[in-house]
Amino acid sequence: MAVDASEPLMRWFAVDKRRLPWRTLPGEPVDPYRIWLSEVMLQQTTVAAVRPYFETFTRRWPTVEALATAPEAEVMAAWAGLGYYARARNLVACALAVAGEHGGRFPDSEEALRKLPGIGRYTAAAIAAIAFGRRAVVVDANVERVVSRLFAVEEALPGSRETLYRLADTLTPAEGAGDFAQALMDLGSMICTPRLPDCPRCPLAGACAARAQGAPERYPLKAAKKPKPRRAGTAYWLEHDGRVLLVRRPPKGLLGGMLALPEEEPADADWSEAGAVEHVFTHFALTMRLLCAKTEAAGDGLWHPIDRLGEAGLPTLFARLAMRGAEWRTQSPLPLRNAQVNRAPRGSALSGGQGDLRMEGPAARRWEGEGTAPASEPLISEQSHSLTLPAFGWAPPSPEMGKGS
């Protein structure tokens, strides 16, 4: 079935498009840096979650050259709470490549863009089309949904992705591919939503095969999800003179390079139970138990003021555990059932080590935005509620899954 979507879609987009901080007004020049930054941030994350991060990053690092000179630890701290932390590491690597190898100018072709760290097929197409006006086929989750309904694609995701890409290619015009791609994404976010699509307002309703069938919500078809592996681990809150011991995680791997609570017992101490936190990552679910203690002698390590812990840039998992630690400080400690804590073996629940770990199910897979990150690296998708840490009044952000909603 041939579908001419461009004209009615662009008429709708001219009136009803979303106002987003990385979009320019008519007549304004497009900044490829802002397009790239927004697209990296939007991978598997909502517009609502990305907005404050984008505004913070562009105020602090307004150009790709400025970002290239930023210490990676500062970028990771500014990214804290947004999830998928390999993106932040690739962000720095890509900025260094653009500044050092391309004179501070992003390449304008998909092929060249895909050679940069952290840029896969979707991101390269989006930058080429939106920033440089190239004809490129831009397919995110919103576009997949629109196209699958428009053509009533009976093949289930993820196996149907190449089919949906080919169909999107048939729709993409030779000119104005960037605006067309953004229009399709806006349509999926605002009208052709996962539940209760607003078909009467849709500019493509007359050509939509799924609407003609009377069941647009049925699409896109999705394969049954496999159960997530489950892991369990222990974190430690060790306090001395108003400070808590933090560690910096290894540069590679899950939450790489970020500050966190230790996962191995840092000292012999009178440990107390402080509850546990349930956390969902993309490829596994985690139960992290927290043990708390005070010590009279501070050993080597990074001791961070508790009343300034909000400045540490803790990822959401450890911010939630810190909330438990803050509550423990104001309550009667719960003694451990056993008099001693078994020292954790080498490794952790996050790294996939053998210490205090339960794991079932298939191994994690890489996503297209991972660039040169290790294939074994699990990916974070933080689906937690916003929490206020009572001791220092800080609420870590809580992005949800799915770009563009």
Over the range 214-245, which residues count as b (16 or more CB within 10 Å of their CB) and which as e? eebeebbeeeeeeebbebebbbbbbbbeebbb
* Catalytic one of 7, 28, 39, 327: 39
DSSP state of 216: G
Residue 55 annotated to the active site: no
Distance of alpha carbon 210 from alpha carbon 151, whole angstroms? 7
| Torsion, CA 316, CA 76, CA 143, CA 176, rounded to 10 | 150
Q: CA 258 → CA 56, 235, 245, distances in Å?
A: 19, 15, 14
Give residues with Cβ within 8 angstroms of 257, minimum separation 6: 72, 73, 76, 85, 89, 248, 249, 250, 251
In the chain, the amino acid numbered 369 is G
User: Where do the DSSP E strands lie in 176-327?
Assistant: 230-240, 243-248, 259-260, 272-280, 285-294, 302-305
| Contact predicate 357/233, CB 8 Å | yes
What does DSSP assign to residue 355? Answer: T
**Active-site amino acid positions:** 39
